[in-house]
C-alpha cells in the first residue's frame, strides 16, 4: 500500500513538473474520491450500529433448562411458574418438583430459595417461602422479579439423601 502510494506520489511529482494544471485536476478527483469513500464508510458504520442495537445481550451459553439434576446429581429438580411468561414486578408462585435420579418424589426435604441478578449485584426483592405440599411437590411463594434481564434462582435441598443445590437461569424481557 505504502509502496503504491509512494509510486503514485512519484508519478504525480513527475506530472506536476510537466503539467501543473493536470495535477490540480487530479487533486480534485482525489478529494472527491476521499469524500465518497468517507460517505460510504459512514453509511456502513451506521448500518453496523443499527444491527448492533438490534442484538440482545443474553449470555450466549446460558443454560435456561427448567428441569435439571442438582450440582452433585442427588436430585432431579424442575419448576413451573404460576404465570408464563414470568411477569415483572408482581408476586409469583412456583411449583417445584424434587425427585431422585430414578424419578421417585423426595417428600421430606427442606428447601431454601435465593435469587440474584448477576449483572446488577442485587438479589430478590422479597423473602420467598417454600412449603411442602401433600402430593410431594413444593410450593415456592413470594417470588418477585423487579426488572427484566438475566436472573437465576437457587434452591438448597436437604433430605436424608444429602444436601445439594440446583440453579435455574432465565432471562426476562424488559
Site mask, another protein, residues 10-49, x = CB under 8 A?
------------x--x---x--xx--xx-xx--xx-xx--
Nearest Cα to 156, choosing from 114, 121, 124? 114
Under rule CB under 8 A, residue 9 binds another protein? no
Under rule CB under 8 A, residue 53 binds another protein? yes
Under rule CB under 8 A, residue 144 binds another protein? yes
Please tell me whether residue 53 adopts helix, strand or coil conformation: helix
How far apart are CB 64 and another protein at their closest, in Å? 18
Question: 48 or 135: whose CB is closer to another protein?
Answer: 48
Round to whole Å and give the CA distance between 63 and 23. Answer: 64
Strands 92-99 and 122-123: unpaired
Under rule CB under 8 A, residue 147 binds another protein? yes
The values of phi and psi at residue 74, to 5°, are: -75, -30
Amino acid at each position: 500500500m505504502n509502496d503504491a502510494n509512494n509510486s503514485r506520489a512519484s508519478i504525480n511529482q513527475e506530472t506536476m513538473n510537466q503539467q501543473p494544471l493536470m495535477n490540480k485536476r487530479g487533486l480534485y478527483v482525489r478529494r472527491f474520491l476521499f469524500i465518497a469513500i468517507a460517505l460510504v464508510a459512514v453509511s456502513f458504520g451506521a448500518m453496523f450500529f443499527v444491527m448492533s442495537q438490534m442484538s440482545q445481550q443474553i449470555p450466549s451459553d446460558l443454560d435456561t433448562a427448567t428441569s435439571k439434576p442438582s450440582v452433585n446429581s442427588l436430585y432431579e429438580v424442575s419448576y413451573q411458574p404460576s404465570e408464563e411468561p414470568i411477569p415483572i414486578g408482581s408476586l409469583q408462585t412456583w411449583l417445584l418438583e424434587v425427585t431422585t435420579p430414578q424419578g421417585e418424589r423426595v417428600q421430606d426435604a427442606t428447601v431454601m430459595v435465593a435469587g440474584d441478578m448477576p449483572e446488577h449485584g442485587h438479589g430478590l426483592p422479597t423473602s420467598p417461602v417454600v412449603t411442602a405440599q401433600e402430593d410431594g411437590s413444593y410450593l415456592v411463594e413470594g417470588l418477585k422479579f423487579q426488572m427484566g434481564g438475566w436472573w437465576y434462582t437457587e434452591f438448597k435441598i436437604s433430605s436424608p439423601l444429602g444436601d445439594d443445590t440446583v440453579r435455574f437461569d432465565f432471562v426476562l424481557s424488559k
